[in-house]
Chain A
Amino acid sequence: MKSVWHIIRTQHRYDRFYFWLGIFVALLPVAAGLLLLGVSGWFITAAAIAGLSGAFLNIFAPSALIRAFAIIRTAGRYGERVLTHDATFRFLTGFRNRLFASMAQRTSEGRRTGLLLNRLTLDIAVLDTVYLRLVVPLVMALVVAVSLLLVWSSISPLLLVTGAVFISAWGCLAIWTFVRSDTKNARRTDAALDAMRLRAADLAAGRRDLAIYGGLEAAAVTVLAAERRLAEAQEAEDLRTSKLTAGSTLLGQLFLAAILLVCLLEVGRGALTAALAVGLILVVMGLPEIFSMSLPGLAKLPRVALAAGRVMGLMKDRAEAGPAGDRASGPRDDTAAKAVLAFEDVSFGYPGAQRRVLEGLSFSVARGEILALAGRSGCGKSTVAAVAARLRNPGQGRVVLDGVDTGRIPEAELRRKITVIGQKAYLFNDTVAENLRIANPNASDTDLWRALEQAALAERISENPQGLQTILGEGGLGLSGGEQRRLALARAFLTRPALFVLDEMTEGLDAATAGDVLDRFLSYRGEAAVLMIAHRRQELERADRLLDLTAPHGGGNPSPETILSEFQ
């Protein structure tokens, strides 16, 4: 529940004026609606009395009031909806931006899965419930309750007591929902839905593997088990909603019965006029609609709390993370200064793993040099690339770029100095131009075509009528693996760093393509140094020097230094 409060406070801080304006405007149609009912009831009763007794009745004032209330009610409802929705969407837009910023700060902590991300967008969407379906209706219910209690108390004590009993009963119902809204069921629903999604995806993707290991039918049965858990959890949530609705409806109806009785008794005692009594009864008829406006929000509360908790969790971590990366470092080192990049006794291991991936690794890449990092798959080559590019922080030791500990280099400067070309080129679902301009936002179209030309991709892109505006990625222009790699290369050809890090750039390409991509890269790189993660002969042949990562790990003993071998 705390996280829901937090969201409310955040939205309040985001734009106080809109926050309160929305609530104020929302009050108008509600008040107008109740007054409309009350005045109408009063009016027809008064008309009936006048009709029977022949007394004079001013019909103009009440009918003007009725018209005014009807207009305020209809127009106010429209204005209220527009205002409150606009306020909420303003807030959510800002919120989305902040969330992206905090996610960006946390990239170094490992990759986020698609599953988590999908849930995140759903979570943000759920948050509009907080203001629209909880804050606004509950404040309105409160204001209406207090005003009515004041009105009733000025008429008769019996009326006040009856009204107070029912309104507090309704309040108890709302409070009960708040108190009892544990997020356990919402969590169960999410877990079951995730399990169902993952298992269904497995069932579709690895069909041969499943048919042999475990059986397709058995796999389908596990999906159905998740679906059963989902149904149970959803049923529990629905039952809660159902109880809430039934309770609220029943309270409204019983209140009507009670108020009818009380009003007639008071009329009998002479404490009330007939017309006022009918007016009061009709006002109570309008109450359930107002009080039930917060029901959808209350019913969704566990789900909202869960989503708010997850989202706020991400935001909070960001605050705690603080200005990371500013680790202490030794003085500037002259031997290291000669090298573009130097690893000094660097170790890295995943928390909880039996063995570390890197153990006391030291090496350096000189200016203009091409160093190839070799070794069997899984020996930590890619980890070296990630540590060099500060995607991961070394557990021990330090990484020095141009004589400065990478931990102390400002982000923007570091990214200018190092360009990484990975084995998986991420293509954004956007135009070719936008995909390329990630590397350099100021590049002109001519620059882009030149980079594409250098990556031997210009022809393929110009085949398309939209040219640079062709959409790539999911649902867009399907580039083959080799073409994607070339696009990543073209991206890199828009930068001028001091060091290129190639992480298996040619993985999965056939020999001819790989050689072509490599040569194009090497002719572009100019004076920049290259750290090349490789296992292809073609790549190793083009290196100035070779560093074998596997050798020192052979016996599993940590080795203080690695064997450098000259490669001819």
Chain B
Amino acid sequence: MKTKKEKIGKVAEDVGQGRGTAAAFGWPNEAESRRLKRAGKILAVSDLLWIAQAGLISWALGPLPAIFSAADASLSAESDLTLPALLAAAGIALVALLRVFLQNRAETVARQTARAIQSRARGDLLSIAATRSPSAAFPSSGAFAAHVTEQVDLLGPYYRNFEPQKLRLRLVPLGIVAASAVFSWLGALILIVCGPLIPVFMALIGLRAKAASERQQEELVRLSGSLLDRIKGLETLMLFGAIERTQRQIGDAGERFRTGTMRVLKIAFLSSTVLELFSALGIAFCAVYVGFSLLGDIQAGTWGEPLTFAQGLFILLLAPEFFAPLRAYAAAYHDRAGGLAARERLATLFPAEDNPKPLSLGAGTYEKADARQLSDPPAIEFRSVCISHQQRDVFKDFSLAIKPAETLLLEGPSGSGKTTLIDGILGFHEPDSGEILVDDAPAYALAAVLRRKVIWLGQSPRLFHGSLRANLLKAVDTPAAVTEDDLWQALRLAGAETLVQRLPRGLETPLGEDGFGLSVGEIRRVALARAAMRKDAVLLLADEPTASLDEETAADVISGLQTLCNGRTSIIATHDKGLRQIATRRIDLKSEGAVAGGRALA
């Protein structure tokens, strides 16, 4: 996993934009930056090919005024015009094919590159999620999911639409000006003067638009948030008979939002109107210049010879293309804003300073661990262990020996280190000093195999999105070998049999955000059933297994635990005195202080 992190860091340095930390996501690497530039170049070439097409059109149409002004030449017109017309049409069609091909090519390159950057950003985020210790701080599930999905999504349009436009904007207007200048320096000068004026005026209006649109964006977020909020709380609203009132409120808010949005849009439309006005002015000036030159009223602006009709037409045909990249750039500008903001947010998801020690959970560890089979209940020993968590010593020089197949009850107030002790055995915490040994091997080295051979019930167990059956099967390595009876047996053991029978679709009931809502007590019992699926487990670790259960359910869970503890090294952390009946030994972490080591109470 280290290599991956190095890669992330390297990418950031490659970009060379001052982001050397490991927390940079969604930056292109060197090859990708090159590819995006290439897409811009291809796009520019495709645009500049218009010069050839405009040339062909002007060449074919050029002789027209001469033919028509010479009154007697109309007879020869057909033969004079047919051949150039055919050639020009064929030429334009060929160049058109090439242009469309190039455009398509540029788009494909940009699109695929953007997608690669997005995929890599997601991979990087997920690799941190997969390697960071479960006991370390982690963003909320909502925030993490939103970053993996929406925020990374915003990067796509930025890289795909905006990046290639940068190069296009730099190359195409220059090419157009150069081509115009070949025949008329004044024509080129008109473009040069009009072009840079546009960004200036747009910026002036854009500044106002930006502030207004940011406010409006917030308003939109608030509006859709509040609509969602009301729909989520519909039941409450209904119970208080407040539906109609809320409906009026939502209507009013929508109306306010509409007027606000229109205010912002008017500014935004004004700014594109300015863009259009200036490009229209630019083209009009060119037209006026060309028109009066052709009438003979103006003789300036060329390199000596007066402007011919073909040359004038050529300059006029080129003028709109001078402004086209500017318009495309302006249109893609909001993709840029979205993409940059998303990249900022991605960078702050994992604060660099709390990067945890990398966890030994690679494919290699799995293989090595597999060599050591744990088939008997292990002995566990804490030898002078020191663990600190968030700048607080949880264990200081803590020693404890647990015999194979013993059932140990951990007591003590919250904060005395019960959870940390269990986490330590599972390798979620590595001791700062001292050793946690499982059958004389360091626990973290055995972590991979231990985690598959443990019956574990957490303090606030979580079930995953999927059917209840799929949740139970997560506990076993070979789901195919599990029979229907095995599942029901585990459920019975956890006192969850009738609970499941009453669910809409029994074992197939979908759980999680998209599924059926179970109460806390119900979740705990299903989680116990999931743990009970591991028949070959050698170790049992339970953290407050009876918290927030009513007495009868707690009794069911305790009797289930009793069965499960049998023949396994078991450690149960609890406040519940009801569990004492199944323990062979109790220690109070508080009274002895994790500091001096646990003392047997019974």
Contacts and interface: CB of A to CB of B under 8 A. Distances in A.
Contacts of A249: 99-100, 103
A97 B462 contact: no
A219 B141 CA distance: 14
Contacts of A559: none
A254 interface: yes
Contacts of A376: 550, 552-553
B238 interface: yes
B446 interface: no
A331 interface: no
B242 A260 contact: no
A422 to B, nearest CB: 8
Contacts, number: 409
A188 interface: no
Interface stretch (B196-204, B501-509, B563-571): B501-509
A429 B229 contact: yes
Interface string B247-281: 10011001101100110011001101100110010
A250 B100 contact: yes
A96 B254 contact: yes
Nearest to B125: A200
A380 B519 CA distance: 12
Nearest 6 interchain pairs by C-beta: A415-B241, A206-B462, A253-B96, A268-B78, A264-B85, A205-B141
Interface in A240-256: 242, 245-246, 249-250, 253-254, 256
B513 A350 contact: no
A378 B119 CA distance: 43
Contacts of A270: 74, 77
B100 A258 contact: no
Given A231-B119, A274-B64, A354-B501, 19 more contacts: A48-B312, A81-B265, A89-B262, A200-B126, A204-B129, A209-B458, A209-B527, A210-B464, A216-B134, A253-B53, A257-B88, A257-B89, A268-B79, A353-B506, A355-B502, A377-B549, A416-B241, A428-B229, A430-B226
Contacts of B451: 211-212, 215
Contacts of A349: 502
Interface string A415-434: 11011101001101110000
Interface string B549-591: 1111100000000000000000000000000000000000000
Contacts of A253: 53, 92-93, 96, 99-100
8 contacts: A55-B69, A97-B254, A104-B237, A194-B514, A211-B451, A260-B57, A268-B77, A356-B502
B67 interface: yes
A326 interface: no
Contacts of B145: 197-198, 200-201, 204
Interface of A: 40, 43-45, 47-53, 55, 57, 59, 63, 66, 70, 73-75, 77-78, 81-82, 85-86, 89-90, 93-94, 96-97, 100-101, 103-104, 107, 111-118, 120-121, 125, 193-194, 196-217, 219-220, 223-224, 227, 231, 234-235, 238, 242, 245-246, 249-250, 253-254, 256-258, 260-261, 264-265, 267-270, 273-274, 277-278, 281, 285, 349-357, 376-378, 380, 382, 389, 391, 411-412, 415-416, 418-420, 422, 425-426, 428-430, 438-439, 441, 473-474, 491, 495, 507-508, 535, 550, 556
Contact of B238 (A268, A415, A495): A415
Contacts of B92: 253, 256-257, 260
A508 B243 CA distance: 29
Given A250-B97, A253-B92, A352-B504, A45 B309 contact: yes
A220 B126 contact: yes
B444 to A, nearest CB: 13
B329 interface: no
A238 B161 CA distance: 13
A193 B118 CA distance: 14
B247 A47 contact: no
B141 A204 contact: yes
Contacts of B237: 104, 438
A345 to B, nearest CB: 19
Contact of A227 (B122, B144, B250, B475): B122
B287 A264 contact: no
Contacts of A53: 69-70
A100 B530 contact: no
A446 to B, nearest CB: 20
A556 B497 CA distance: 12
A264 B82 contact: yes
Contacts of B144: 200-201, 203-204
Contacts of A199: 465
Contact of A217 (B226, B361, B454): B361
Nearest to B273: A78
Contacts of B230: 100, 428
Interface string B200-238: 000000000000000000000000111111111111111
Contact of A242 (B104, B521, B552): B104
B178 interface: no
